[in-house]
Amino acid sequence: MKISNQVVDELILRELGERLARVRLERNLTQAGLAEQAGVSKRTVERMEAGGVTQLVNLVRVCRALDLLERFEVLIPEPVASPVAQLKRRGKERQRASSAKAATAPSGKWQWDDKS
């Protein structure tokens, strides 16, 4: 199955679990053996391979045990800014994303002790 934005989360988790299981079997590892190498429970490996929800740290541990961590570089590459943007920022690393702010117009003339 090709993973894309149009595929629902449950199918993506199931596909990723099946891929992890195939890699594990190619490496001739049992679920218990992988769990021991990764430092997670066997049940966690079973859940992952079945497409169940798991913690991100467990995925990292299992991928490390299967020697797959380098593939995260392809999955989530380091953002590269244009040379002009790099010059503008010069040491100012973004910490947060900002949302568009709506402009609010004053609702009329303001007066002291305005009771309206």
- All structural domains of the chain: 9-75 (1.10.260.40)
Query: Can you give the pTM of this predicted structure?
Result: 0.66
User: Is the torsion defined by CA of 52, 55, 60, 64 positive or negative?
Assistant: negative
What pLDDT was estimated at residue 46?
A: 97
Distance, in Å, from the CA atom of 77 to the CA atom of 109, rounded to the nearest integer, reads 52
Interior/surface letters 88-108, b for 16+ CB within 10 angstroms, e for the rest: eeeeeeeeeeeeeeeeeeeee
For 32-45, the pLDDT digits (tens) are 999 999 999 999 99
Q: Where are the beta strands (DSSP E) in the chain?
A: none
pLDDT for residue 24 is more than 90: yes
